Amino acid sequence: MSAIRAFLCRLSGLFDNQRKDRELAEELESHLQMHIEDNIRSGMTPEQARRDALIKSGGLELAKEACRDRSGLPVVETVVRDLRYAARILRRAPGSTAVCVLSLALGIGATTAIFSVQRALLLAPLPYPEPDRLMVVWQGPPEERSRQPLSSPDYFDYRERNRSFEELGVQTLRWVNLSRDGTPERVWASICTASFLRAVGIEPAAGRLFTDREEAEKERVVLLSYGLWKRRFGGDPSILGRRINVNREVFTVVGVMPAGYHSPRLWRADASPELWAPVQLSRADSERDSHWLAAIGRLKRGVSQQAAEEDIKGIAAALAKQYPNSSARVSAWLLPLKELMVGEVRKSVGFLLAAVGVVLLISCANVASIQFARSNGRQSEVAIRTSLGAGRARVIGQFLTENLLLSGTGGVAGVGLAACGMGALRSMVPATIERASAIQIDGWVLLFSIGVTVATGLLCGLAPALSAARLDINSVLREGQGTLTSGRSRARFQSALVVTQFALALALANGAALMIKSYLNAVSAPVGFDSERVMVASISLEGSGYQGNIPAQAAFWSLLLERVRTIPGVQEAGATTKLPLQGGTNGSYLVEDEKYDPKANRPLIERSWVTPEYFGSMGISLLAGRLFAPGSATEARSEIVVNRAFAQQYWPKGNALGKRIYPNTPKRDWTGEIVGMVEDVPQWSLEIPPLPEVYQSLESTGRATKHLIIRTALPPLTLARAVREAVASIDPEQPVSGIRTMEAVFDRAAARRRFNTVLMEIFAGLALMMVIVGVYGVISCWVAQRAREVGIRMALGAGRRRIARMVVGRGLLISVLGILIGLGGSLALSEIVGSMLYGVSPTNPVAIVGVASLLLLIALLGSALPALRAASVDPVRTLRAG
Amino acid sequence: MNDKMDVWQGTLALMVLKTLETMGPLHGYGIARRIEQTSGNQLTVLYGTLYPTLLKLEQEGYISAKWGVSDNNRRAKYYSLTHAGKMQLESEARRWEQRTAIVGRFLSPSEEA
């Protein structure tokens, strides 16, 4: 206790020194006077009394010094003194100090920003209690870990037979329509089991979760998100028990989830549910091959993922035996929820972090080089300090303090820069990435930046500090200047730094060039549709009257399309159940005389239901045959259109037209006749090549959600209002949502790659800027050191041009060395880089040659100014000065 | 050469505390004089050891200081024992006695041997 108290006193003693000193002096003075008075009283002369008192006291100054050490913390005072001195030194050369601080600020700022992304997306725990126990259960063929959802009876079997999960639940995500309490609105809903909510483990902020009983008895109860409660119901305090309209049916609100709660998105990364309602499940075995439920389980304490997976696989194997027709090829596996939510992001964030680390290293090299050059100018200062008794440790300490001050300033500026860039960064993160809004500079990020700053300071300061400490005092003091040989070795060190910079910059810029090329490849690859001037609107026909009522839905859509076509500016209007690049539905078919076989591994075929006008509206060309005729579909028979990939899959050489396909079930209760073939359109992303697809007539599906596609001559979004009015004129309770251009859909698909690419561009740009500074610095130093040599050469008749060539040659030599080393490094890393690329080889010669030429140009630029300076040397003056 | 003993640091603190306990509030000069007298003039208290010790005790909270006026109308800093100081004095004194007793047992002619 008392020791802590004393430490705090001493810490505070660091301030207000002067008052303390004055008090001490006064106290000692009064002590002395009292002593003298006593002495006089005992009979000494005033002279004698004073002498005696001074001798006995043992030295006033010594006492003051001892007290001063005791009243403060001498180490801290040394540091403060060093800091003051360092600040003075740095201020004396504002130009190079500014370059150092700017380099470090950019390096540290970029590192901080990317670390904050890593922290928010990867390192921070998921916002659920004990998130490490949450596992996603996927089904799939035994030999692959594919992410297929569960069927309803399978879920019951897994839930009841497993010994590993405390709770296991399932959900599916659906659009639902809200009406009556305001304008009709379409929101994402998590249709889930009560066990799903319990497995996730978040309690509602108000009310309660729904129960197993309510789920089993199909009660119409619902939980609202905090946002929906505030937005649509004005934060109604009596919301619990209120009846609201969901899909035109009355549901009772039983709870409101906490603000900021995000339901785990297992299935659609872009859906964020605002409503939770019980799912209606069936145990009927006929449902076993209908996979539509995403499952999440909370492991019992102490059960490992592996043990749980074996458990669940065992159950799947038993089911496969029991129900060979539906489950012969169905196994199950576990994926930690965290992996699901961040797995995909991990690689690209790691890549960016590595890139930004390279930027930081380049900036360190700049600072080290500048500081090193500067320390050389201070040899005599160091020599004098050493000869006056400064120990080696003090000299090193002084240099390190100076560099820490520098990196500290850079660090503060860098964190400031990163903080300013946060908004831009957040908005650049693709919306499909979970928790992008959590990116911020929090305590951990700050701690990380401080660590980086200190490490940077030590790294940059080490070389100058050690070389200063090794200084041979005698030779410096005798000669007044560093000798020529030590100058040479200094130049070698600096050149080595710049060579390193070139090598790192080449690797980085090459990576950036490849990323840009990949991005361009991804966005310029033919997509088979024309996104220009196309508007999309999504409409879900839900609730009584529509649900399962195919004729009612068909009537709505044909009326809507009819009315939309009369809107001025509409050139063509069609409808589809799914948009390109947005994923969708797939299944398998039997083609021609293929026989049903539950053990066969049939290829997955994408499935769409469209109106014939869809192809024209979306700009998808018909390659062969014709489109299906309206009204041609019956329950047992439809005309269908396939894409090129489908035709190639089954009839690589022949003709697909006129061929027949059947559902992959024991009974052939439906026949599809291929009447046309259309161009491929990528279904899942820009980078997954188009899969085989079957288009059926929109009239034959009861799927609730359909998209209206309008091709127009006007700016597409100007039609939004007219479209809403057209929908309202048919059904005033029907919401329209997702009004956007097809270009926005496309942009969204490219967002992730664009994010990585833009950041890589920024980093490479920063790196190149720093390399210019680096090469300029080292060549300038080199020229300065050789002023005398240049003078002699000129005096001996060398032309200015020749001198300039010599200097530029030096710059090019350094850059070529660096480029060669960087090439080696790039080749060594090509495999890692390759995994980030699309449609371009990691050793693409065009990129490498381009980047290498760019770096040579930079070397030229950086050495041009010093070359001019060298060429304008006045030989007479330099020779005289030397 | 001075044949008087210089006071060593650790014990000076104890002496200061004891002095303040018996004498009440006292200035630095008074403390020094008192310690010298108590030691039968065998000890000399130097500024360089006394004042750092006073500062340390003050920082540790065992004594407190206040400016006052001496008998001869001179401004002086008066030190007095705090409550914590009293406790510290007791425990230090006990420790000191134990320590000297142990060392004494080694140095005095052994009785059992």
Using CA of residue A602, residue A603, residue A606, residue A612, what is the dihedral sign? negative
Identify the contact set of chain A against chain B, taking CB-CB distances under 8 A. 2-3, 5-6, 9-10, 23-24, 26-28, 30-31, 33-35, 37-38, 56-60, 62-63, 66-67, 69-71
Q: Which of A279, A274, A273, A269 is nearest to A170 (CA)?
A: A279
Instruction: Give the residue ranges of DSSP H helices in A566-708.
Output: 613-618, 644-650
Average pLDDT over residues A609-619: 95
The answer to whether the CB of A368 falls within 8 A of the CB of A778 is no
Of A587-591, A713-717, A734-738, B6-10, the range with the lowest mean pLDDT is B6-10
A40-73 pLDDT per residue, tens: 888 888 888 888 888 777 777 777 777 777 777 7
What is residue A486's predicted lDDT score, i.e. its pLDDT? 57
> CB pairs below 8 Å between A and B: how many?
82
Q: Which of A110, A100, A1, A37 is nearest to A759 (CA)?
A: A110
Per-state percent for chain B, helix, strand, coil, to nearest 5: 60, 20, 25
* Arithmetic mean of pLDDT over chain A: 87
What is residue A219's predicted lDDT score, i.e. its pLDDT? 93
Of A154-168, A272-286, A391-405, A423-437, the range with the lowest mean pLDDT is A423-437
Do residue B56 and residue A70 have CB atoms under 8 angstroms apart?
yes
Report the percent of chain B where pLDDT is more than 90: 16
What is residue B1's predicted lDDT score, i.e. its pLDDT? 36
What's the token pair of residue A262? 């995000």
Average pLDDT over residues A688-707: 91
Nearest to B44 among A24, A35, A56 (CB): A56
Report the percent of chain A where pLDDT is more than 90: 42
Residue A783, C-beta contacts closer than 8 angstroms, at least 6 positions apart: A790, A807, A866, A867, A869, A870
Output the CA–CA distances (angstroms, integers) from residue A391 to A88, A382, A701, B10, in the order listed: 21, 11, 87, 31
Average pLDDT over residues A447-461: 90
The answer to whether the CB of B4 falls within 8 A of the CB of A7 is no
Nearest to A57 among B47, B56, B62 (CB): B47
What is residue B107's predicted lDDT score, i.e. its pLDDT? 85
Using CA of residue A686, residue A692, residue A698, residue A701, what is the dihedral sign? negative
What is residue B2's predicted lDDT score, i.e. its pLDDT? 41
More confident call, A686 vs A376? A686
- Pick the most confident of A57-71, A156-170, A811-825: A156-170
Q: Which H or E run includes B55?
A: helix B47-60
Q: Is B74 on the interface with A (CB under 8 A)?
A: yes
pLDDT band per the 50, 70, 90 thresholds, residue A827: confident
What is residue B8's predicted lDDT score, i.e. its pLDDT? 61
pLDDT band per the 50, 70, 90 thresholds, residue A206: very high
Average pLDDT over residues A261-277: 83
Residue A112, C-beta contacts closer than 8 angstroms, at least 6 positions apart: A414, A415, A418, A441, A445, A448, A449, A452
A778, with CB counted inside 10 A (0-12, 13-18, 19+), is: buried
**Whether the predicted pLDDT of B4 surpasses 60:** no
d(CA A618, CA A613): 9
More confident call, A480 vs A187? A187
d(CA A80, CA A560): 78
A629-671 pLDDT per residue, tens: 877 888 888 999 999 999 999 999 889 999 999 998 888 889 9
What is residue A14's predicted lDDT score, i.e. its pLDDT? 65
**Whether the predicted pLDDT of A478 surpasses 70:** no
Average pLDDT over residues A785-803: 82
C-beta atoms surrounding A875 within 10 Å: 17
What is residue A485's predicted lDDT score, i.e. its pLDDT? 44
**Whether the predicted pLDDT of A491 surpasses 90:** no
Average pLDDT over residues A99-115: 91
**Whether the predicted pLDDT of B56 surpasses 50:** yes
Distance from CA of B100 to the nearest CA of A (A): 25
Indicate the DSSP class of residue A377.
T
**Whether the predicted pLDDT of B9 surpasses 80:** no
Q: 3-class secondary structure for A311-347?
A: HHHHHHHHHHHHCHHHHCCCEEEEEEHHHHHHHHHHH
H helix and E strand count, chain A: 28, 23
Distance from CA of A61 to the nearest CA of B (A): 9
Indicate the DSSP class of residue A148.
B
More confident call, A793 vs A164? A164
More confident call, A202 vs A77? A202
Do residue A30 and residue B76 have CB atoms under 8 angstroms apart?
yes
**Whether the predicted pLDDT of B34 surpasses 70:** yes
**Whether the predicted pLDDT of A274 surpasses 90:** yes
A253, with CB counted inside 10 A (0-12, 13-18, 19+), is: buried
Indicate the DSSP class of residue A660.
E
What is residue B6's predicted lDDT score, i.e. its pLDDT? 53
